Amino acid sequence: MGSLKQDRWYLYTYHVPQPVTKLADHTLEILMTDLDEDVLHTFTKDACENGKDCTERAGINRIVPKGTLIHEELFDPCGYSMNAFLPDSDHYATIHVTPEKEFSFASFETNQDLVCLYKQTKEVIKCFRSFSPGKLLMTVFANDSSTKGRDAQQQLWDRELPGYKRTNVQFVRLEVCLVCCDFLTRAGVLKSSYVVDNVPAAVSEKQDAAARLITKYEGVSACH
């Protein structure tokens, strides 16, 4: 997904017959690269005593819903991983950080629905803003029953994230869900024209149809 002339994301799908369900299902993923090497030191054994210490120093404990149970690991000599879940539910959140400056990377993923997903996105970006990621890739998978997932897709379509410039956005309709893929670059890092897609007309028509499904969505947003 994405323009062939810029960064792109390879999305692999596997066709398996799915039972008809009306249960809401969505996933938010945020991938961050080109992190500031001056603050990547936080995710090393030299800076933090253990995983819990790293979680608190980085502010990660403040970006998940209250009551979330967190299990974190700080690797030796560097690297961080966090898996969390909300009790009495199937909701989870994960964070992984690779702090080496040559290929710095951080990721966040969740399917929670206690907090508006657009607000969740802003909280994650706020937490990692001190790490100044040069590039962001945000994706929201949502089935037709997930009003919160579809609302987050609409919000990402309508709004810009402070400090970042959108370079590409794409909607793809899969068999069981609609995918919104949003590419962003830190303001001032890259000068490029805005790209919606750069694909053959037949594929473009399908993407436009998917985008219209989002544009027509008239749910009342609780995101701020």
109-134: pLDDT as tens digits? 999 888 788 888 888 877 776 667 88
Residue 18 lies in a domain: no
Confidence (pTM): 0.77
Residue 80 belongs to some domain of the structure: yes
Q: How many CB atoms lie within 10 A of CB 48?
A: 19
What pLDDT shows up at residue 130? 65
pLDDT in tens, 77-103: 999 999 999 998 999 999 999 999 888
Per DSSP, the three-state class of 146 is coil
What number is the average pLDDT over the span 194-208? Answer: 40
The proportion of the chain whose per-residue pLDDT surpasses 90, expressed as a percent, equals 26
How confident is the model at residue 189, as a pLDDT?
56
4 domain-assigned: no
In a domain, 8, yes or no: no
pLDDT digits (tens, 9 = 90+) for 144-196: 888 888 888 888 888 878 788 888 888 888 877 888 888 888 876 544 333 34
Q: Is residue 13 part of a domain?
A: no
Residue 67 has pLDDT above 90, yes or no: no
More confident residue, 199 or 11: 11
Instruction: State whether residue 179 is helix, strand or coil.
Output: strand
Instruction: Give just the sign of the alpha carbon dihedral 148, 149, 152, 157.
Output: negative
Please indicate, yes or no, if residue 19 is contained in any of the structural domains.
no
Residue 182 lies in a domain: yes
Of the listed ranges 21-35, 56-70, 165-179, 194-208, the least confidently predicted one is 194-208
| Residue 211 pLDDT | 43
Report the CATH number that the domain containing residue 130 is assigned in CATH: 3.60.90.10
Q: Which residues contact 11 (CB under 8 A, 6 or more apart)?
A: 1, 172, 179, 181
In this prediction, residue 101 carries a pLDDT of 85
204, 170 contact by CB (below 8 A) = no
Tell me what the pLDDT averaged over the chain comes to. 78
The number of folded domains in the chain is 1
Rounded CA-CA distance 70/187 in Å is 33
Give bridge partners of residue 85 from the DSSP assignment: 69, 92
- Boundaries of domain holding 73: 26-189+204-215
DSSP state of 87: T
For residue 197, tell me if it sits in a domain. no
CA-to-CA separations, 129 to 17, 39, 135, in angstroms, rounded? 41, 11, 11
